[in-house]
Amino acid sequence: MIRPGTAADGPLLRAITRAAYAHWVPLVGARPAPMDEDHDAQCTAGEAWFHGDAAAIVLRDEAPGLLLDNVAVVPEARGQGLGRALIAFAEDEARRRGHRVLWLYTNERMAPNVALYARLGFRETHRAGEPPMRRVFMEKPV
């Protein structure tokens, strides 16, 4: 069951995000940006949603549509469909909010994530930035 975060969920969002992204640090050569976000503020602002205590998503209304700012699943829960469920939720949420596009960006060194998003119907729009933070921007009509 997916539930909205509350102001008290900042520590949970922080723990899920850090656990989910830790394995990327050596590959990227830096901490991925979601690890250092203000998780308390994201929860207080109503941007975070949770799938139990194992997965979370952060969504923001930001042109050109709804930004999928972070989707994180703890390592122990990978392969159970939690991330896909959260992305499907984000698509529904984008439509509910009147957006035509769900969009995201990810580090280009996270090639498995780029491939997953492509399989889920996202298309690459462009790349920007400098290594180690070169990003792949993707969007999906909803």
- The SS3 of residue 85 is helix
The CB density around residue 35, as the number of other CB atoms within 10 Å, is: 19
* pLDDT for position 94: 98
Query: Is domain 2-141 in CATH 3.40.50.11030, yes or no?
Result: no
pLDDT over threshold 90, residue 14? yes
Residue 62's Cβ-side half-sphere holds a number of Cα atoms within 13 Å equal to 11
Predicted confidence (pLDDT) per residue in 47-59, tens digit: 999 999 999 999 9
Q: Where are the domains of the chain?
A: 2-141
- What pLDDT band is residue 133 in, cutting at 50, 70 and 90? confident
How much is the mean pLDDT over the chain? 96
| Percent of the chain topping pLDDT 70 | 100
Which pLDDT band, with edges at 50, 70 and 90, does 17 fall under? very high
The per-residue pLDDT for 59 is 98
pTM: 0.95
Identify the pLDDT of residue 131: 83
Residue type, 8: A
Residue written as token pair 């969002």:
13
